[in-house]
Amino acid sequence: MTLHFLRMTDTYSDKSAVYADIVADLRNHPDRQIFYLVPDHMKFDMEVQVLEAIQGLAKGEEVSDGASGMMRLQVMSFERLAWLLLKADWPHDKQALSSVGTMMLLRKVLHDLFDELKLYRGEFNKIGFLSELADLFHELEMGNIDPDSLDEILAQEDPQVSSLKARQVDKLKELAMIYRAYEAEQGRFTLASHAVYQALDEYIRSEDMSQVRVVIDGFYRFTARQLQVIEAFLLKVPKLEVILTADRAYRQSGPAWDDLFTITGEAYHQVYALAKSHDIPVADDQFAGPNTAYAPAFAGLDEYLRQRNRQGQPNEPKGTADLANHLEIWKCESPYVESEQVANKIYQLVASGRYRYKDIQILTRDVDKYRYQILPYLEQNEIPYFIDNAESMQRHPLSRFLDSLYRIWRYNWRYQDVFNLLRSELLMPLAYLEAEDRQNGQKAFRRVVDQTENVVLKNGYEGRRFWQSDYEWSYLELDDQGQKIAREADQVIEEEANRLKNFLFNSLDPLFKTWESSLPTKEALTTFYRTLEKLGIPQQVLNWRDDLIDAGDLELARHHEQAWQEFVQILDEYVLLFAEEDFSVELFFDLIQVAFREAKYSIVPPSLDSVSISGLDSQRSSAKPVTFVLGLTRQSLPRQYENHSLFSDEDRDMISQGLTDLQSLAASTRQKTLNEAFIAYKTFLSAYNKLYISYPYNELGEKTSNISPFLDQVRQAYGLEEKLHSSQNLVLQAHEEVHLGNWRSQVHHLASKLSLAKMRREQLPASYASLYQQVKALRQTHPEIKKVLAGLDYSNQVKNLPADLAQALYGQPLFTSVSQLELFNKDPFSYYLVYGLRLRERERMQLDPIQTGNYYHGLLQAFFDRVLKDRIAIEDLSADRVYSLLKDLVAQALEDEANTIFTTSARFSWMNHSLNRTLYQVIQQIIRQQRVTKPRIRANELSFGLAGNSQNNLPAYELSLTEGQSVFLRGRIDRLDTWQYEGIDYLQVVDYKSSKQSYQFRHIYEGLSLQLFAYAQVALRADQGGEGAEVFGTFHQLVSDQVRPIKKEADFQGTALETMPKNYQLTGYYLADLDLLQAIDPTTDEKESSLSYPYKWNKNFVLKKDAYGLNRQEWTWLLDFVDDKIRQTAQAILEGEIALAPLRQDKESLYIPSLQYPLNAIACFDPVDGGNRYRDWGLTANDRQTFFQEIQQALEEKGALDDERS
């Protein structure tokens, strides 16, 4: 019995001597059995490496009984060895619990100990705590620390030292109590992982091992359980060899804190101490030979890295000049640029013929983070890859289905939960599930789900009552008589949505009723599983698997199998532990979600030729010819570790002091931090020919990143230069440091350069000429290139419609509204999209500004119509009478189907209360205006050109166009007030708005603010005020809850009284007639501003000049100009103008559909594109004088100027 160590470093890692000795041993001893033990996750790679090396050495030699000599060499992990040796005595009546099964068992234990718990009584049902507890107990089990050992350690502590110490001991004692109960329960139910090691240890000590030789390779550290097995081997086998990465022996003591090989040195010392404790001879250490695959420069780097971490200054690095030929440091603009350049470089290396894909590996600290950046570029270059990082099952449709199923039950059929379940596509009617062509059936089901979602969103169907079979959904509009009116397609959508609703409710509701009753767990889960079978869930998973097998994607097909097996395992374990307890829906589905989050798909071994992708922390069997290291920033190396265990660092220190040589805890945060230098060492020597290390100086959505200090030290020591890789589109230079991949990458890069050159009107750099010719030559074999190059000359230009097509589209004569014409004047293409093609986003039941405005308008109309009908003088209405009237009208309004949104939830009910409060304030202010001013409300919601027989309906406002064409305007005037003064009837048009309006003459000039002036023309033409009517003004009345500034409490009442009328003042343009203004609002004294109108008196009732008071001549010009602008706009529409020409928004905030979501995706307006340009404003100076000069000139040119209105 002897112990042998083989020490090595990365560049001195030739194990040929060991392999040769194994071959000789097998040849000379026909009964020899050799166990070559390696870490479990490295088993495949190490087995290939060891067997290939030994077969190479044994080639041409006769190894006793031939091929069976190789069969006597077994490369395996400790766990696999246990199964091999113990298979005859394996306890088949017990099963190993999954990590989630362990959490279930812990929950059972905590429930049984509930009355004895103090600190953790409230945690027994919390998944996070159960997970932390499972991790802690697994650590204790693998550390060979049983409950008795923990109790003995705690018994030695004096809690009287301090209150802090007492709390620490109390916490640890309670955890120890839980641990003891857990161990007892685990022994009854399951085969624990640590029990496998215990059984292996006992087997080795009891069996004859005289013909067994053990080699242990690839480990950085050993758990206490592994050390226990190693001790057994030391006592029983004639020779045990341990191969470790270390450049010195650690026999007298473990490594110093600053030693590079802190972890591996400690492993060396532990094994050595075990041998000496049993007086087992330890042979002199052997040192591996030089690995000739490494370039000589890496040997110097190896020596430098080993010296750097030890106390004292390291020697000058060797081979500084040569290393630059093998190590490149890339500073990249972003992870995307970094990933693209790495993928392209890999393509170049393989295309050169010097490397194969299997010679290349990619390392990164966070594989999940870089997965979505690097994989698209690898696929673009058609590079095969293997990710040595198991993917979580959390995104599998089965996980989504189960989570949504629980949430539908738990949260009463919420919209998002229902459609998450439907879009998992695991539950669907049999007509789609059993369709002959499953793909077409799946497409049809998706279409029905999308259309059903439209029905739900439009009507706000949320909650169980809307999904019941006896509730009929409606997707159709109702006419005035309550009859459904719709297209045939809408009727089909309504019918299909109701069928899907009934199917879903009838499928799930019986299951949900069982969850609401008190059933034993076994019965509840049996019902649950049978329901899933009845609904075809397992069959759908099998369908997906079979389809993928037929498509040749075996790996993804296995994913579906594994996900279903994971679910079934959770069911089995839950029933095993809680069979007779009452079923807890919440706990079960919490555990289901943890299970799918923690479960990983099994990793399929890589293909014979593929690039491997793995994490920096993962152990690798050997270096590769080429390594790319991504994301090596200050944040990633060294990593900042945090302690998330239930044992604090202080707890670990206390417990560690009482442990034996065969007991241990997991590495502490301090040990992990010290080991970062070793990880850097393994990373920098992970390639033996070419090493490319990159880091982004701009992280995605994060602050600027800096280079890793470990890498920066190497850079400075060797004088290496960083190569900058920036975005391809930022700088156009003749010479750039870029790497191009296959033809797709080349086209992508060339297209960006050509586009940039075109935009800047520059020539393509000469250095790209050959690439351009090369890409053009590929057009025949790759048709995609033709489309890409043709796209560079594409300009997003819009051609006008032929006049006959425009008239067929919009109708002739043209029936439209003023607001529609205003949209055309903002951008003709937006008018075409909205009113020509009639594109609109799907309807949603939500309280948007349009619906709020409709609610306000409806109630204001109803209120004043009631007042006028009852012949009540508005100015005489009291506050109580207003409140009573409004309350009745609100109750009636809520019965209207258009306002059902206010009854769907408490939130919308509160919003309705807020709207009603605003209306009450506005009505009070309108009444105040009626009391202090002369005009009286003559009509509310005065319609013109709209269908209906109401007495308030007026004919459409008609204007003649060229060639006998006409435009008919329709609309609704919110309020028309009149007042007679000196024999003239004055009209004021009032429009209700929920936000403050801006008044600019250039808006009128461009045709953006025509509405109120057109309404005034309608009122004049209808002659609502009698003979000789004139316009007094066009105003907006604010309908909005106003925030009043309060500087101090004492000012509250005064501030409210003073500011409220001002906030609700009519705003707009008015007739600046001094006598008329004094008469219309006699309450305003000199040097005061009117609280009702937008004007102010100076001394002696001299009107203060402003932009809003217009004289009679200006009103005449303005109204004539508005009529002419309407004619021009309507003429342009009928002539087919649809130019994509939105007004420039320098200081404006205009709503232009072609620039906003969702229509911007159709318009694709791009000001960089030569075919797209913003339209400049026609009126450069936004002042009154300029405006009237321009419109006067325009009217004169058209011969439309009249001195007086006829």
CA–CA separation, 41 vs 617, rounded Å?
Answer: 12
pLDDT digits (tens, 9 = 90+) for 610-650: 898 888 888 787 889 999 999 898 888 888 888 888 888 88
pLDDT at 568: 92
pLDDT at 61: 56
DSSP string, 1068-1088: EEEE--HHHHHHH-TTPPTT-
Domain segments of the chain: what residues? Answer: 2-93+195-292, 99-188, 298-389+605-725, 393-598, 743-791
- Residue 1105 CB contacts under 8 Å (≥ 6 apart), including other chains: none
Share of the chain above pLDDT 90, in %: 27
Does the structure show a pLDDT above 80 at 941?
Answer: yes
- Yes or no: say if 153 and 658 are a contact pair by the CB < 8 Å rule: yes
The 3-state DSSP class for residue 1067 equals strand
The 3-state DSSP class for residue 846 equals coil
Least confident of 590-594, 681-685, 848-852: 848-852
Strands 360-364 and 624-630 turn out to be parallel
- Return phi, psi of residue 2, to 5°: -140, 155
Q: 652: part of which helix (H) or strand (E)?
A: helix 649-656
CA–CA separation, 613 vs 385, rounded Å?
Answer: 7
- Residue 1039 CB contacts under 8 Å (≥ 6 apart), including other chains: 856, 860, 918, 919, 922, 992, 993, 994
pLDDT at 1039: 86
- Yes or no: say if 858 and 1173 are a contact pair by the CB < 8 Å rule: no
Q: Retrieve residue 834's tokens.
A: 């909205």
pLDDT at 482: 45
pLDDT at 4: 94
Asked whether the domain spanning 393-598 has the same topology as the one spanning 2-93+195-292, the reply is no
User: What's the mean per-residue pLDDT of the chain?
Assistant: 84
- Residue 434 CB contacts under 8 Å (≥ 6 apart), including other chains: 441
- Of 780, 776, 771, nearest in space to 789 by CA: 776
Q: How far is CA 377 from CA 218, 364, 384, 684, 754, in A?
A: 33, 16, 11, 24, 21
CA angle 56–58–62, rounded 5-degree value: 150
- Cross-strand pairs, 627: 361, 691
Strands 212-217 and 33-37 turn out to be parallel
First to last CA, the chain: 124
CA atoms in the 13 A half-sphere facing the CB of 820: 19
pLDDT digits (tens, 9 = 90+) for 81-118: 988 888 777 655 566 777 788 888 888 888 888 888 88
pTM of model > 0.85: no
pLDDT digits (tens, 9 = 90+) for 1144-1194: 877 767 888 888 888 888 888 887 766 788 888 888 777 888 889 888 888
Q: 614: part of which helix (H) or strand (E)?
A: strand 611-615
The 3-state DSSP class for residue 2 equals strand
pLDDT at 128: 82
- Of 1052, 1051, 989, 982, nearest in space to 1024 by CA: 989
CA–CA separation, 432 vs 536, rounded Å?
Answer: 11
* Proportion of the chain in helix, strand, coil states, percent, rounded to 5: 50, 15, 35
728-735 mean pLDDT: 42
- Return phi, psi of residue 546, to 5°: -65, -40
Q: Retrieve residue 929's tokens.
A: 């205006």
Does the structure show a pLDDT above 50 at 796?
Answer: yes
- Residue 947 CB contacts under 8 Å (≥ 6 apart), including other chains: none
289-299 mean pLDDT: 91
DSSP string, 959-1026: EE-GGG-EEEEEEEEEEEEEEEETTEEEEEEEEEESS-----HHHHHHTSS-HHHHHHHHHHHHTTT-
Other Cβ atoms closer than 10 A to 193: 15
CA–CA separation, 223 vs 267, rounded Å?
Answer: 9
Other Cβ atoms closer than 10 A to 939: 22
Given the candidates 3.30.470.10, 3.40.50.620, 3.40.50.300, 2.40.30.30, the CATH classification of the domain at 2-93+195-292 is 3.40.50.300
- Cross-strand pairs, 330: 694, 723
Strands 212-217 and 73-76 turn out to be unpaired
- Residue 715 CB contacts under 8 Å (≥ 6 apart), including other chains: 329, 707, 722
Domain 298-389+605-725 grouped into CATH 3.30.470.10: no
- Yes or no: say if 939 and 973 are a contact pair by the CB < 8 Å rule: yes
Does the structure show a pLDDT above 60 at 739?
Answer: no
Exposed/middle/buried for residue 999 (C-beta within 10 Å: 0-12, 13-18, 19+): middle
- Yes or no: say if 694 and 629 are a contact pair by the CB < 8 Å rule: yes
CA–CA separation, 965 vs 323, rounded Å?
Answer: 83
Exposed/middle/buried for residue 341 (C-beta within 10 Å: 0-12, 13-18, 19+): buried
Does the structure show a pLDDT above 80 at 761?
Answer: no
Give 95-98 contacts, CB < 8 A, sequence gap 24+.
95/190, 95/191, 96/190, 96/191, 96/192, 96/193, 97/186, 97/189, 97/190, 97/192, 97/573, 98/569, 98/570, 98/573, 98/595, 98/599
Q: Hey, what's the torsion of the CAs at 994, 1000, 1001, 1007, to 10 degrees?
A: -50
Sign for the pseudo-dihedral over CA of 504, 507, 513, 518: negative
- Yes or no: say if 338 and 369 are a contact pair by the CB < 8 Å rule: no
Other Cβ atoms closer than 10 A to 1149: 6
- Yes or no: say if 259 and 218 are a contact pair by the CB < 8 Å rule: no
pLDDT at 939: 86
Answer whether the bond into residue 1158 is a cis peptide, omega within 30°: yes
- Residue 20 CB contacts under 8 Å (≥ 6 apart), including other chains: 57
- Of 230, 293, 428, nearest in space to 11 by CA: 293
Exposed/middle/buried for residue 898 (C-beta within 10 Å: 0-12, 13-18, 19+): exposed
Q: Look up tokens 């501030």; give the residue.
A: 1055
pLDDT digits (tens, 9 = 90+) for 229-253: 999 999 999 999 999 999 889 998 8
Q: 671: part of which helix (H) or strand (E)?
A: helix 669-674
- Yes or no: say if 967 and 1125 are a contact pair by the CB < 8 Å rule: no
672-698 mean pLDDT: 90
- Which of the four pLDDT bands, split at 50, 70 and 90, describes residue 58? low
Exposed/middle/buried for residue 146 (C-beta within 10 Å: 0-12, 13-18, 19+): middle
Does the structure show a pLDDT above 90 at 830?
Answer: yes
**Residue burial 1032-1060, b: 16+ Cβ < 10 Å; e: rest:** bbbbbbbbbebeeeeeeeeeeeeeeeeeb
Given the candidates 1.10.486, 2.40.50, 3.30.70, 2.40.30, the CATH classification of the domain at 393-598 is 1.10.486
CA–CA separation, 689 vs 743, rounded Å?
Answer: 27
Q: How far is CA 1131 from CA 268, 810, 1016, 1136, in A?
A: 92, 12, 22, 9
Q: Look up tokens 């789609």; give the residue.
A: 432
Q: Which of 316-325, 833-842, 1052-1061 has maximum average pLDDT? A: 833-842
CA–CA separation, 581 vs 575, rounded Å?
Answer: 9
pLDDT digits (tens, 9 = 90+) for 344-361: 899 889 988 899 999 999
Q: 1110: part of which helix (H) or strand (E)?
A: strand 1109-1110
